[in-house]
Structure 1
Amino acid sequence: MGKTSMSVFVTMQRKRWALMILLVLSVSTVGVILVRSSFESCTVGGKISGHQFAEEKFRSIPERPNPLGFMKSKLVLLVSHELSLSGGPLLLMELAFLLRGVGAQVVWITNQKPPEEDEVIYSLEHKMLDRGVQVISAKGQKAIDTALKADLIVLNTAVAGKWLDAVLKEDVRKVLPKILWWIHEMRGHYFKPDLVKHLPFVAGAMIDSHATAEYWKDRTQARLGIKMPKTYVVHLGNSKELMEVAEDGVAKRVLREHVRESLGEQEEFTLHERVYLVCYYFSGVSRGKGQDLFLRAFHESLEIIKEKKLEVPRMLAVVVGSDMSRQTKFETELRNFVQEKKLQSYVHFVNKTLTVAPYIAAIDVLVQNSQARGECFGRITIEAMAFKLPVLGTAAGGTMEIVVNGTTGLLHSAGKEGVIPLAKNIVKLAMQVELRLTMGKNGYERVKEMFLEHHMSHRIASVLKEVLQHAKALR
């Protein structure tokens, strides 16, 4: 009886710690905004004190001079085409908070908003307001006056170009010399004159990868007959919040056990008795993200194991980014495939969420299966590498600038021809625990060398300095 009571107590304590960690830790810098409501399996109660352990841990480390310090008192206008949980708006919010952290005056404009009240927009706007970011209407005299007064304007994504003519009208030419255009898109349908006709005349374009920068240089010339402005490639970096979780073994273990339990797995399985793979995207499932081909590759990997009678730990796939509430044709296709191949006991679908830390902590391998030209950068890749996970990625786009093939992960071709190579890579990492661990460790070292918040801040700071000088010279 005493043993049973102790078991129940331990289980309750584990769940309590999991919930507490979820409240304060999130992979995205802004992920904590909605952490109380985003992690579907949790009901949060109680309060916690914050990062006391982390503060103790880092108290003795001297603060680095902030590379963005020169932005103090500068007026910066940030223009986003939308405000949502997708990568572009969240990155711009992160920049807003970095600038506020050094004392810049930051004003936010969202160009496209739904007519009805939106809970996500409401939450994100109030998070910005709480951090001292002013949020104003995209239209009207205040928007025009702010644009004319601003020291710097950042247009976020190609679609934000619609705002220039629609709002500024005859004042557009006055602000072009102080615009930095931050581009994240890798799709051909963004190359339209009404979106990017002013692009050659802005102070500069900031793009997340060399692959995307080359693509934009070629396509603007070939399709529109225009030249790109001075273009800066700025690789992204992991937030301090992410790194605190990734480097805290206790937190990772608690989250790992909690997620596995929430997915219906029994506690008696040890860390290496099952191998979890995840195909994860913030904004949901779509054909361009390759979840369908991932599931085909996963099925092929199980067939290879069966055919060759390999001794491999039981493998499970977790597809994060699902949204059955929308009932899309593609979502239905994915689930029908799982039923057709009798994979129900092998595949877990998890709704899209910002609280990605628990899922990254719970898995063994990340699959980054974006198709066609791949991801512009793919921040989830460096987030997984921070957790010492190997990455199985498509040999396309920004992934090739992050993953070192054979060292931090394994690359496969995009498209149907990549299905069998991905399947073989899945089997390889499932069988070779030491290889997984070595690649994960190598990935972590690469993150520490290149993809931290202070690396990104330094890269952005050098761009902003040049753009401000350009604007000043043309006044």
Structure 2
Amino acid sequence: MKSLSGRSSPRNSPSFRKISSGRTPGKEGRTSSAFSASWFRSNRIVLWLLLITLWAYAGFYYQSRWAHGDNKEGIFGNESLNTDEDPESEHVHHRGLIVDEGTILVKSNISRNNADAVKLDVVLTKKGKDTLSPLTVLLKKRNKVKRLRRSSRRGALGKKVKPQHTENNNIEVQEVQEMQEEDIPMSNSSYGFLVGPFGSLEDSILEWSPEQRSGTCDRRSEFQRLVWSKKFVLIFHELSMTGAPLSMLELATELLSCGATVSAVVLSKKGGLMPELARRRIKIVEDKERVSFKKALKADLVIAGSAVCASWIEKYLDHSPASASRQIVWWIMENRREYFDRSKSVLDRVRMLIFLSKLQSKQWLAWCAEENIKLMLRPALVTLSVNDELAFAAGIACSLNTPAFSIENMLDKRKLLRKSVRDEMGLTDDDMLVMSLSSINPGKGHFLLLEAARYMIDQKPSPKDVSVDGLAEKDEYYHSVNNSETYRLGNIGNIKKLFSDSVYKNEENLKVLIGSVGSKSNKVRYVKAILKFLVHQPNLSKSVLWTAATTRVASLYAAADVYVINSQGLGETFGRVTIEAMAFGLPVLGTDAGGTKEIVEHNLTGLLHPLGRPGSRILSNNLQYLLQNPSARREMGIRGRQKVEKMYLKKHMYKMLAQVLFKTLRVK
């Protein structure tokens, strides 16, 4: 190293040591920091760009969390809300013990490979006036203790359940079982024979199952263009396997298939559709109030699927800005005055009403005129349709057809399915299977159907001590039955034992298949009256078949020869099962009321009969006519199928829905 004089200095010289000791490591660090600060001061643009980038990232991050409902305490410092997405909502079959307003639901795991088997274990309701509600226990004996012990260790919506509750649960389960055994004899009774479900047989013959469905949206349709990237909230009033919940389930599936985001608010989780919602990846908003209101406010459109949704709509509008009413479409699927009365306070606060039939629309508009209710927009008419799965199985052209599953191939498979299912039922080619699939309650007229069948079989009057005169006609009875009372005849194994105690070869040609055993909407007193009636009618009971509630109905339609829709009172609002039966080429015998008379053309696609007891005689004559005239059955069935292909396929319904969406979707 050279000194200041220009001469070299040795490394250990004083001058060298002085220079090197003058800059310690600490000073070097401070010098580096000073240099960095000075660099940022001289490059303020870069500094501001970094700050803006970090701020934008944080903003998008929290906005994304808020949009997905993850607004727990700590994000903005506000009070924590219940999250609208339960991490278990997509795996409902793993849920243990759920406590909700005094109701305990113990649910078992539901096999994804057997969607037909109803494995809801036990439903216990809070006691009122020291009495236990007469609900049915659906509990497999070999798994009962194990499941109850496991469920007692699980939390209920994040809350721990005390161990001593297990003993109480076991006691209540035993009480319900004892009550059920007293009410429904398990032997020495003749009610008929339980058949089905035939989901596995259906899959093996058709070589296709709904689980293989990957989406059937028509990418060229106006409906797809309107819903793409939009957010929808669908309101289910319940999850029973009946018309309204099934229609909303299929709407949610189609929206997802067409690129929309769908969230479902379920007002009552009773019923068998929860596993189906999980399988189709439909997100459930667990909270029915604050979180669901927030989710609805952020949606492009809210679609409510029943008049029963009135209470939720009213609360939502009361807690939301005035503009919220402009994003609600209300698809009303009921036709009785009681439903109008419970919903009339909010009919004029929603954007648009949708009705199922002309008669229903006319009736509701007349009631609105009586109450001086002015609607925002003219109501729309959107009829229900046959979904692609059933159209596919029926051999009707749909989005599921491929070269390997052509219409001709599906018609051949349907014939094979018919033969296989009828063999399982013990039917011959000479037997005419008459089917009625619906909830078993007075409004559906099952007793009157059985009475019409009895007229054909033995022409004897009903014993007075077991007569159910007027059950279908008396509104006071129809409305007095507690809506929470549902009839579930134990698990499937026990039901088969119940109905198969006296199975033997039938000689009569008429067979009557009634569903749906285990439906949430079944009425206990009405079902018991029918069973009591059948006990005293041995000839009739030989011809009666029962089937459990299921979404896999293609096999049942394929096996049937005639369909009966015997709804009483105002009749069916529309009758989804009516068009499904027609799609399979079945003539329909229906009451001359409601939507049925709009669908069924008398003497062309079926036969109509009056309401009530007088209609039973005419229904009996119509059954006798079709039994003796197979060619008439075929001709009516062909014309009914043609009408479905012309008016009631999925493409027809979504074309009508597209018109509604065009008028109501919020433009951002």
Class of the TM-score when normalised by the shorter of the 2 chains: 0.7 to 0.9
Structure number, greater radius of gyration: 2
TM-superposed deviation, 1:48: 7.1
Change (3 A) 1:252 1:313: farther
Residue 252 of structure 1 aligns with which residue? 414
Residue 319 of structure 1 aligns with which residue? 514
1:149 to 298, 306, 311: 298
TM-superposed deviation, 1:37: 1.9
2:608 partner letter? L
Instruction: Check the 8 A contact 1:324/1:331 in 2, yes or no.
Output: no
Residue 9 of structure 1 aligns with which residue? none
Residue 16 of structure 1 aligns with which residue? none
Change (3 A) 1:37 1:420: same
1:292 to 441, 447, 454: 447
Say whether residues 1:188 and 2:341 are aligned partners. Answer: no
Instruction: Check the 8 A contact 2:197/2:552 in 1, yes or no.
Output: no
Structure 1: how far apart are the matches of 2:603 and 2:433? 20
Say whether residues 1:389 and 2:586 are aligned partners. Answer: yes
Instruction: Check the 8 A contact 2:443/2:567 in 1, yes or no.
Output: yes
Instruction: Check the 8 A contact 2:197/2:548 in 1, yes or no.
Output: no
1:391 partner letter? V
Residue 426 of structure 2 aligns with which residue? 264
SS at match of 1:330: helix
- Paired residues in the alignment total 410
Structure 1: how far apart are the matches of 2:220 and 2:205? 27
Root mean square deviation, CA, Å:
3.0
SS at match of 1:68: helix
Higher mean C-alpha displacement, 184-193 vs 455-464? 184-193
Change (3 A) 1:361 1:196: same
The higher relative CO (CA closer than 8 Å, separation ≥ 6) is in 1
1:348 to 540, 545, 551: 545
Aligned-residue identity in percent: 30
Q: How does 1:364-379 map to 2 (within 5 A)?
A: 364-379=561-576
Residue 197 of structure 1 aligns with which residue? 345
TM-superposed deviation, 1:85: 2.0
2:432 to 271, 275, 280: 275
Task: Name the one with the larger helix percent.
Answer: 1
Instruction: Check the 8 A contact 1:217/1:227 in 2, yes or no.
Output: no
Instruction: Check the 8 A contact 1:217/1:228 in 2, yes or no.
Output: no
SS at match of 2:284: strand
Structure 2: how far apart are the matches of 1:324 and 1:213? 28
Q: How does 1:211-226 map to 2 (within 5 A)?
A: 211-222=359-370, 224-226=371-373
TM-superposed deviation, 1:256: 2.1
1:360 to 540, 557, 566: 557
Residue 37 of structure 1 aligns with which residue? 117
2:277 to 104, 125, 148: 125
1:319 partner letter? I
Change (3 A) 1:40 1:388: closer
2:513 partner letter? V
Change (3 A) 1:163 1:101: same
TM-superposed deviation, 1:362: 0.9
1:67 partner letter? E
Residue 97 of structure 2 aligns with which residue? none
Say whether residues 1:440 and 2:637 are aligned partners. Answer: yes
Q: TM-score, normalised by structure 2?
A: 0.57
Structure 2: how far apart are the matches of 1:439 and 1:33? 37
Structure 2: how far apart are the matches of 1:423 and 1:301? 6
Q: How does 1:202-241 map to 2 (within 5 A)?
A: 202-222=350-370, 224-229=371-376, 230-241=378-389
Cα-to-partner distance string for 1:1-31 (whole Å, 9 max, x where unaligned): xxxxxxxxxxxxxxxxxxxxxxxxxxxxxxx
Change (3 A) 1:358 1:179: same
Change (3 A) 1:42 1:203: closer
